[in-house]
Amino acid sequence: MSDVDQSNPEAEIEAIKHVIATVERAQNTESPDEFLGLFRADAIYTTAGGTRLFGLDAISAFTRQVLLAACQNTAAPADEVASTSNSRPVFDPH
């Protein structure tokens, strides 16, 4: 996914909607490749159980083994963007 113009809130919301639609479609069609296409090589993903996965290789292994297998024969719930807020890292130099 390309970078989104952060000075354009409508573009940011459309990008979020695109990600949600891609996740839903990937789950409904059991397509790990489509889901994994959302991640950069250096991504960090936290599972529903709280386990952190570092890097696309770890996320891919988890997804192919666990995540999408859990969705077999079930439809992913429909999600929608209800609200957004800007979240930026806060660094404490001390």
pLDDT digits (tens, 9 = 90+) for 6-32: 678 888 888 889 999 998 898 888 889
Question: Can you give the residue range of the structural domain that contains 21?
Answer: 9-71
Domain CATH number, residue 38: 3.10.450.50
**Residue 3: inside a domain, yes or no?**
no
**Residue 93: inside a domain, yes or no?**
no
**Residue 22: inside a domain, yes or no?**
yes
**Residue 59: inside a domain, yes or no?**
yes
Distance from C-alpha of 18 to C-alpha of 50, rounded to nearest angstrom: 25
**Bigger pLDDT: 6 vs 35:** 35
State how many domains the chain has.
1
Residue 50 to residues 8, 27, 34, 84, 92, Cα–Cα distance (Å): 32, 20, 23, 23, 24
Claim: this prediction has a pTM higher than 0.95: no
**Residue 50: inside a domain, yes or no?**
yes
**Residue 28: inside a domain, yes or no?**
yes
**Bigger pLDDT: 16 vs 60:** 60
**Residue 14: inside a domain, yes or no?**
yes
To the nearest whole percent, how much of the chain has pLDDT over 90? Answer: 32
